[in-house]
Amino acid sequence: MEMTGLPAEIISAFGLPDDPATVSPIGTGHIHQTFRVSGVRSFIVQRVNKNVFRQPEVIDINWTRAAQHLSAHYPDYPFLRCLPAAHGATQVSDSNGFPWRVFPYIGNTFTIDQVATRQQAYDAAAEFARLCHHLDGADVSQFRETIPRFHDLSLRYDQFEEALPSALPERKDQAESCIQYARDARTLVDDYVRNTSNGAWKLRITHNDTKINNVLFDMTSGKTVYAIDLDTLMPGYFIYDVGDMIRTFVPPVSEEEKDLSLLRFRRDIYDVVVSGYRSEMDAVMSTEELAYIPWSGKMMTYMMALRFLADYLRGDTYYHTTYPGQNLVRARNQFHWLGILMKET
Ligand code: GN1
Ligand code: MG
């Protein structure tokens, strides 16, 4: 259900201004519903998707652990947390059982939806890497998965296969070439299982959603100031972060693009994603991890292709869509991009 405004109980719990004119929907995320409330103090107010985050309290547990580590070791690191409601809780449920939370609005900042320059790509890659680097000494066992097995490629492959038997025949027909591609690229799953079971990669605290619009840039300096959207800050491997940047920063168009001829490998951007990431992570990464940076982009692209394809086959139950067939468009886009990455990296 699309919300057009804020429920009265949320306005009162967080002491927000009770004036619909100050509220406007923002953001391009697929999962939550996000609003900006403007006033003397401005806020970002978000309804958490409880069907995706089934234990939203785990998000808070992880943020508390991360904040404790960061304030002890990197007190100047700008870690964005939500504001408590009047009775102290950081999440308050509305009458339909959806949790809501409120962040301070960070003024004089902007976000972008597509990487335009090498500087943006380098700075954003370094920003996400800084978060992972700064959390390197934290006790990973104290964190929990906010979405179980979120970036487990083998689970995502199984979910695709499981979606097939009950998919509508016309959807299966439409998706035929994607289904074939999904099966042809399966060796990536074997690589993933091997590398995650032989201890080659360290389990870290990773961001897990490193798209460019999850970085705030300062309007005056043009520099990155915050890594945001920390719902999936949780135990993971480095491949999830650098891989998703290769997936999303390097092409000049997004995963929504229907004209596949516009998907082009921007080598200069690829190079600075890697160097920006390494500028922070080299200090803590092993040579086994470093060797898999090019692979990480393929793996994350394949994972998103599988997720979009499975959602199309299931009848669009997960990602928000605005037109029929949108998930298939996204899946085709990602399989095409995977083909490009296979050639170029
Ligand atoms: C979802 O809604 P957004 O952009 O924060 C998804 C990511 C995908 C992304 C694809 C919790 O993130 O994993 O990479 O869409 N988040 C979740 O655009 O499923
Ligand atoms: Mg997100």
Cα of 210 vs centre of ligand 1, distance in Å, is 9
Query: Which listed ligand is nearest to 319 at the C-alpha?
Result: 1
* For residues 127-143, average pLDDT: 98
Residue pair 69/156 in contact by the 8 Å Cβ criterion: no
Ligand 1 pocket test: which of 31, 32, 48 has the largest number of ligand atoms within 8 Å of its C-beta? 31
pLDDT tier at 134 (50, 70, 90 boundaries)? very high
Cα of 46 vs centre of ligand 1, distance in Å, is 15
Q: By C-alpha distance, which of 208, 201, 158 is closest to 183?
A: 158
Looking at the CA of residue 32, tell me the nearest atom of ligand 1. Answer: 2
For atom 4 of ligand 1, which residue has the closest CA?
Answer: 29
Helix/strand/coil percent split, the chain, to 5? 45, 10, 40
Q: Which residues are 102's β-sheet partners?
A: 45, 83
For residue 129, count CB atoms less than 10 angstroms from its CB and return exposed for 0-12, middle for 13-18, buried for 19 or more: buried
pLDDT at 30: 81
Name the DSSP class of 96: T
Whether pLDDT at 1 is above 60: no
Q: By C-alpha distance, which of 16, 58, 65 is closest to 41?
A: 16
**pTM of this structure:** 0.96
For residue 86, count CB atoms less than 10 angstroms from its CB and return exposed for 0-12, middle for 13-18, buried for 19 or more: exposed
Q: By C-alpha distance, which of 299, 194, 305 is closest to 244?
A: 299
Looking at the CA of residue 208, tell me the nearest atom of ligand 1. Answer: 13
Buried b / exposed e over 208-228, threshold 16 CB at 10 Å, is bbbbbbbbbbeeeeeebbbbb
Ligand 1 pocket test: which of 26, 30, 52 has the largest number of ligand atoms within 8 Å of its C-beta? 30
Chain centroid to Cα 27, Å, comes to 13
Quickly list DSSP for 206-249.
E-S---GGGEEEETTT--EEEE---TT-EEE-HHHHHHHHHHHH
Looking at the CA of residue 255, tell me the nearest atom of ligand 1. Answer: 18
pLDDT (tens digit per residue) in 221-264: 999 999 999 999 999 999 999 999 999 999 999 999 999 999 99
Phi, psi (rounded to 5 degrees) for 50: -75, -15
Pocket of ligand 1 (CB under 6 A): 29-31, 52, 209, 211, 229, 232, 255, 304
pLDDT (tens digit per residue) in 87-120: 889 999 999 999 999 999 999 999 999 999 999 9
Residue pair 38/24 in contact by the 8 Å Cβ criterion: yes
For atom 13 of ligand 1, which residue has the closest CA?
Answer: 209
Whether pLDDT at 2 is above 70: no
For atom 5 of ligand 1, which residue has the closest CA?
Answer: 29
Q: By C-alpha distance, which of 266, 275, 257 is closest to 332?
A: 257
**Beta carbons within 10 angstroms of residue 89's beta carbon:** 15
Whether pLDDT at 206 is above 80: yes
pLDDT at 122: 98
For atom 15 of ligand 1, which residue has the closest CA?
Answer: 30
Cα of 151 vs centre of ligand 2, distance in Å, is 13
pLDDT at 157: 98
Cα of 113 vs centre of ligand 1, distance in Å, is 13
